[in-house]
Structure 1
Amino acid sequence: MSKTRQHPHGPTRRTLAHGERVDWHHHRANQLICPGRGVLRVSTPEGTWVVPPHRAVWLPAGIAHSHQAYGPAELRCLGFAEQVNPLGLEQPAVLAVTPLLRELIAVLTGPQAPTGEQLHALERVALDQLRQAPALAMLLPTPTDPRLRDVTALLVADPADPRSLARLGSAVGASERTLSRLFRSETGMSFPQWRTQLRLQHALTLLAADRSVTAVAAATGYSSPSAFIEAFRLAFGTTPGRYRREGDG
């Protein structure tokens, strides 16, 4: 994995086409990334997050990362000096974005962005909002064991793959017991939890591409649209249809 260092000067906003990638890079500053619209897949060596507009990713300085857009997307970023870390986070995290914080990010990264004392005042309010933002368990960890990486590669290629862990193990030459132990030790999740996280992340990308709820349910391996809607609601606090209607801004 090659990477480059980028030097953003203050808040930035960038439009991304569906499928467009920002290759591996890192920053000297801490960074808050929030999609203004569409969905962003943010990848680090530790794993991936799929981030809709009401979420943001906190990336500490020096962490290598890449982005990919799903649906027409807008990448909005705030940069903070390395010593400015309101949550004291040393690893990347997904944060819940309040309506006020989202509006602040939009203003700070907008075409008529404030300058001078107004800029500093709004940044202080944004930092105050960040101090209250809860971190969310949305990471899809990337394993390192070759056997587990083979299993997860099969599922990433087809999130609807219905095979049990035992059958997947047969395909890669590992026992169900070994793989179950590796899932917990390497990802902190059970196999069903990891697969559910993968499927829900995939669902966000498909919804951003304007796929129907029925099509997304089938593509993510749920037995019925109602089963998918319930899993989505439990994870995100809203239904897929309402999420899609309210997601752009």
Structure 2
Amino acid sequence: MAEGTSAFLHAQSDAQLALCDNGVARFQVGNDAWFVPSKHGIWIPSGRDFHLSAQTTVEIHRLYVDARTVQRMNLLQKPTVVRATPLLGGIAQRLASQGSMRLTPSEIRRLAHVAFDEIARLDHPDLRLPGGHDPRLTRVMDHLVLHPQERRSLSEIAQAFGTSERTLARLFKKETGMTFSDWRRRLRFMYAIEQLAQGETSAALSAGLGYSNPSAFIAAFRKYFGAPPSSFRDPK
């Protein structure tokens, strides 16, 4: 999928795991957005429409899981980003690129069962950016998503958008469960993940996102995700 392209995908009767083999993609499900970097995936339950946009050139493999298997194996019931294992990524690639080496139905079933076992034990990094409903809130969110390096305070942003600081603070907490500061911090880290996948350095990101030096940015990033920025670089 080429950088800058997007697609709206209709709900499926099966759940699906969309694995990002390289690049970074955003998945919009309802009002919320999930950022899916290389070697991660997103679990999408059955019956959910979603919008997919490629922030970089991205290769995605999808595995479909029927409702009976989801229930039997107690798999995830809501959209969730997962950290893919090499085994799961290999199975997805094998199923997606059979070519002249066609798999028999029994081989496909055996691979699928191994994949289901892997899905059940995957780590779930929190790469969800909550959205909102109230137009006063969504206008501000849309602006910040387009301008994650925005430095103005909540009071200044509220004034620019014709509302009050108290109203915006209340709406952020009510509709996202997060304070404005926490929501913006998460947005900036998501933006950093996208930029890291495109080769941006921690030094450049730290300056643009308001950190005093690269070490401060790296420490904050590691504290938030439990891993350094380098772990989100797209392997070539």
Name the aligned partner's letter for residue 92 of structure 2: I
1:102-127, Cα deviation, whole Å (9 max, x unpaired): 33223222345633111111110111
Helix, strand or coil at the partner of 1:67: strand
Who is 1:4 aligned against?
A: none
Structure 1 stretches lacking a partner, 5+ long: 1-15
1:110-158, Cα deviation, whole Å (9 max, x unpaired): 3456331111111101111111224332211110111111221221121
State the 1:187 CA deviation: 0.7
Q: Bigger CA drift: 119-128 or 65-74? A: 65-74
C-alpha contact (below 8 Å) 1:94/1:136 kept by paired residues? yes
C-alpha contact (below 8 Å) 1:70/1:208 kept by paired residues? no
Normalising by structure 1, what TM-score? 0.84
Who is 1:5 aligned against?
A: none
Q: Among 91, 96, 101, which residue is 2:83 paired with? A: 96
C-alpha contact (below 8 Å) 2:17/2:42 kept by paired residues? yes
* Identity across matched positions, percent: 35
Question: For residues 205 and 114 of structure 1, what CA distance do their matches in structure 2 show?
Answer: 35
Who is 1:79 aligned against?
A: 64
- Any residues of structure 2 matched to 1:1-249 within 5 Å, and which? 16-85=1-70, 86-111=73-98, 112=101, 114-244=103-233, 247-248=234-235
Rate the CA distance shift 1:61–1:242 in 2: closer, same or farther, 3 A: closer
Question: For residues 15 and 131 of structure 2, what CA distance do their matches in structure 1 show?
Answer: 22
1:2-59, Cα deviation, whole Å (9 max, x unpaired): xxxxxxxxxxxxxx12222123432221110111111111111131111112321110
Question: For residues 170 and 75 of structure 2, what CA distance do their matches in structure 1 show?
Answer: 31
Name the aligned partner's letter for residue 89 of structure 1: L
Structure 2 stretches lacking a partner, 5+ long: none
Question: For residues 191 and 92 of structure 1, what CA distance do their matches in structure 2 show?
Answer: 23
Higher strand share: 1
Runs of 4+ in 1 over 6 A off after TM superposition: none
How many equivalent pairs are there? Answer: 232
State the 1:88 CA deviation: 4.1
Q: Bigger CA drift: 99-108 or 182-191? A: 99-108
